[in-house]
Structure 1
Amino acid sequence: MDIAEPLLAAHRARFAEVDALLPPAAPPAEGERLDAATADGTRVTGVVQRHRFAPDDVPLLWSAADTWQLFPYFGDTGTEGVDLLLRALKGRLETEPTGEDSACVVFWPSRDAEAIRAFLDHGLVPLGALGIRTAPPPAAGPAAAVRRAGPADFAAALELATATFDYTGLVAAPRRANTADLLAPSLRAALAEDEPPVWLAEEDGEIRALAHCAWVDATPGSEAAELLPPGRWGYVNNVVTAPGERGGGFGRALMAHVHRELQRGGATGSYLYYNPTNPLSSVFWHRQGYRPLWTSWEVRPAAALR
C-alpha cells in the first residue's frame, strides 16, 4: 500500500513516542484505502481489510464472522485524524449491507489517549487487549500441586477450557455454540507433545486450574515482531480456574509456576490476550505484572459504528 512518506514517518514517530515497548510500526497494510483531510489540509489515510470466517474457523472464538478492520495512518493529527478516518469507514459501510454477526475493529497501541477519545466517540469499546509482562518471576504463590498435563487429561482440560467462555461470553465476545469443537484440536495437539506446555493445578487429585501456553519468537520480519519487542516470548494462551474455585488462589499458584518455567526456558517475557471488560481477568492479570500494550477496539454489529 502506497502511503505518503511524511505521513508514514509521522505514524512511526507516534508509535515511538506513545510507548517505548512498542516495536517499530509495521509496514503499511494491504487493503482498501480511505483518505481524508483535516481542517488545515493535512492528509490522513486508513486501510480497511475485511475478514469473513466460516463456522469452523478458530478465530470465531473471539471474532465476529464478518470483520472490517481499520488500520489508521493519521500521523500527528491526533483525535481529529482518527475521527475523520472513522467517519470515512462509516460512509464505506453504508454502501453495502452488514449482518448482525459483524464488527468494526481497530487494533491500536493502548497508551494513545488521543485515539481513545475518537474510538469512544464513534461507539467502539475495548473488548480485547494484548498484555505484556517483563518482570522477574514472583515468589511462590499459595500452595497447590502443579504438573504438566498429558493426553490422559484431554477431557477434563477441554471441559475446563470451554467453561471460561461461559463467563467471557457475558462480558466480551458472545460464546459460540461450537466453542468446544473450536478449542479441541489445538488443545489435543498440545497435550500430545512436550511443547507447547500445558500446566494443571490440582488439589485432592482434582484439576482446579489450567494454563495452556506456547512459545513465540519475535524475529525480524515475523508477524510477532509487529506486536512485540524482539525476543523469545512465552504466550499464555488460555488460563482458567474452575468456576467454583475462583478466588481460592489456584490461578496465582499456577501462574507463579508458569512464569518461573517460562523464564527457565529462556523467555524474554510473557504476553497474553485478555478482556478489559472482564471484571475478573482485568484485575487478575494486572496483579500478575501484565500491562496493556495493544487494545482491540470494537463495535458490533458493524453498522452500529457512529
Structure 2
Amino acid sequence: MDIAEPLLAAHRARFAAVDALLPPAAPPAEGQRLDVATADGTRITGVLQRHRSAPGDVTMLWAAADVRQLFPYFGATGTEGVDLLLRALKGVLEAEEIGDDSSCVVLWPSRDAEAIRAFLDHGLVPLSAVGVRTAPPVGAAPAVAVRRARPDDFAAALELAAATFDYTGLVAAPRRANTAELLAPALRDALAEDEPAVWLAEEDGEIRAVAHCAWIDATPGSEAAELLPPGRWGYVNNVVTAPGERGGGFGRALMAHVHRELHRGGASRTYLYYNPTNPLASVFWHRQGYRPLWTSWEVRPASALR
C-alpha cells in the first residue's frame, strides 16, 4: 500500500531516532486506510487490519478471537498524530457490531513516549512486549541440575507450561479453557527434534522449571527481520517455574544454562515476549538483562477503545 513518500521517510526517521536497535521500518501494511490531518494541515495515515482466529488456533493463547490491528504512520506529529488516528479508529468501530472476544492492538517501539501518552489516553494497556538481550552469557551457572528434555517428559512439561496460564490469565490475556490443547503440538514437536530445544531444571528427580526455546534467523524479508536487527537470535518461547518453587533460583539457573546453549548454537543475542503487567515476569526478565524493544498496546473488547 502506497503512502506519501515524505510521510514514509518521517516514519522511518522516527523509528531510527527512538531506538537505535530497531530494524528499518517495514513497508506499509495492506488494509483499510485511515487518513487524517493535524491542526497545521499535516496529512498522516493509519492502516487497519482485521484478524480472526478459530478456537483451535494457537494464537488464541495470547490474542482475542477478533483482532483489529492499527499500523500508524504519523511521522513527526507525535502525540497529536496518534490521538487523531485512534479517534479515527474509534469512528470506524462505532459503525460495526463488535463482540466481547475482540481487541484493538497497536505494536509500537517501546521507547516512543509521545505515542505512549496517546495510547493511555485512549484506554490501551501494554499487555505484551518484545524483550531483547544483547549481552553474551557470563559467569558460572548456579548449582541446579539442568538437562535437555526428552519425549517422555511431555506430560510433565505440558502440565507445567499450562499451569502458568492460571497466573498470566490474571495479569494479561485471559486464560483459554483449551490452553493445554493449544500448547501441546508445538511442545510435542520440540521434544521430538533437536531444534527447537526444551530444557528442564530438576531437584530430587522432579521438574521445577522448563524452558522452550529455538534459534531464529532474522534475514531480509523474513517476519523476524521486521522486529529484530539482522542475525541469528535465540528465541525464548516459554519459561515456567512451578508455582510453589518461584523465587527459589530454578528460573535463574535454567536461564543461565539456556543462554549459554543458545549462544553455543550461534545466537549472539536473544529475545522473548513477556507481559509488562505481570509483576513476576517484568522483574525477572529485566534482571536477566532483557529490555523492551516493542510493546503491544491493547484494549479488550475493541469497543472499549476511548
TM-score (norm 1): 0.99
Percent identical among aligned pairs is 86
In structure 1, the residue matched to 2:114 is: 114
In structure 2, the residue matched to 1:272 is: 272
In structure 2, the residue matched to 1:291 is: 291
In structure 2, the residue matched to 1:206 is: 206
What SS is found at the alignment partner of 2:79? helix
Letter in 2 for 1:46: G
> What is the distance in 2 between the residues matched to 1:117 and 1:275?
19
In structure 1, the residue matched to 2:134 is: 134
> What is the distance in 1 between the residues matched to 2:40 and 2:46?
18
Counterpart contact for 1:50–1:69, Cα < 8 Å? yes
What SS is found at the alignment partner of 1:239? strand
> What is the distance in 1 between the residues matched to 2:25 and 2:184?
34
In structure 1, the residue matched to 2:154 is: 154
> What is the distance in 1 between the residues matched to 2:46 and 2:258?
40
Letter in 2 for 1:56: G
Letter in 1 for 2:153: D
In structure 2, the residue matched to 1:167 is: 167
In structure 1, the residue matched to 2:124 is: 124
Per the TM alignment, residue 143 of structure 1 is displaced from its structure 2 partner at its CA by: 1.5
In structure 2, the residue matched to 1:49 is: 49
In structure 1, the residue matched to 2:72 is: 72
> What is the distance in 2 between the residues matched to 1:50 and 1:254?
38
> What is the distance in 2 between the residues matched to 1:150 and 1:176?
27
What SS is found at the alignment partner of 1:83? helix
Letter in 1 for 2:220: P
What SS is found at the alignment partner of 2:256? helix
> What is the distance in 2 between the residues matched to 1:66 and 1:277?
22
Per the TM alignment, residue 21 of structure 1 is displaced from its structure 2 partner at its CA by: 0.2
Misfit runs of 4+, over 3 Å: none
Q: Output one character per residue of 1:207-261: Cα deviation in whole Å (capped at 9) or x when no partner.
A: 0000000111000111100000100011000000000000000000000000011
Per the TM alignment, residue 142 of structure 1 is displaced from its structure 2 partner at its CA by: 2.8
The answer as to 2:182 corresponding to 1:182 is: yes
What SS is found at the alignment partner of 1:92? helix
In structure 1, the residue matched to 2:215 is: 215
Counterpart contact for 2:136–2:268, Cα < 8 Å? no
In structure 1, the residue matched to 2:191 is: 191
Name the count of aligned residue pairs.
Answer: 306
Per the TM alignment, residue 2 of structure 1 is displaced from its structure 2 partner at its CA by: 1.1
In structure 1, the residue matched to 2:31 is: 31
The answer as to 2:275 corresponding to 1:282 is: no
In structure 2, the residue matched to 1:226 is: 226
Q: Output one character per residue of 1:46-83: Cα deviation in whole Å (capped at 9) or x when no partner.
A: 00000010000000000000000000000000000000
Per the TM alignment, residue 23 of structure 1 is displaced from its structure 2 partner at its CA by: 0.1
> What is the distance in 1 between the residues matched to 2:96 and 2:262?
47
> What is the distance in 2 between the residues matched to 1:14 and 1:62?
28
Letter in 1 for 2:113: A
In structure 1, the gaps of 5 or more residues are: none
Per the TM alignment, residue 153 of structure 1 is displaced from its structure 2 partner at its CA by: 0.2
- Measured on the aligned residues, the alpha-carbon RMSD in Å equals 0.5
In structure 2, the gaps of 5 or more residues are: none
Letter in 2 for 1:169: G
Q: Output one character per residue of 1:8-56: Cα deviation in whole Å (capped at 9) or x when no partner.
A: 0000000000000000000000001100000000001000000010000
In structure 2, the residue matched to 1:81 is: 81
> What is the distance in 2 between the residues matched to 1:241 and 1:49?
36
Letter in 1 for 2:72: P
In structure 2, the residue matched to 1:91 is: 91
Q: Output one character per residue of 1:116-136: Cα deviation in whole Å (capped at 9) or x when no partner.
A: 000000000000000000101
In structure 1, the residue matched to 2:59 is: 59
What SS is found at the alignment partner of 1:263? helix
> What is the distance in 1 between the residues matched to 2:222 and 2:54?
26
In structure 2, the residue matched to 1:239 is: 239
> What is the distance in 1 between the residues matched to 2:139 and 2:281?
20
What SS is found at the alignment partner of 2:17? helix
Counterpart contact for 1:198–1:211, Cα < 8 Å? yes
Per the TM alignment, residue 305 of structure 1 is displaced from its structure 2 partner at its CA by: 0.2
Q: Output one character per residue of 1:73-101: Cα deviation in whole Å (capped at 9) or x when no partner.
A: 00000000000000000000011110110
What SS is found at the alignment partner of 1:13? helix
Per the TM alignment, residue 141 of structure 1 is displaced from its structure 2 partner at its CA by: 3.8
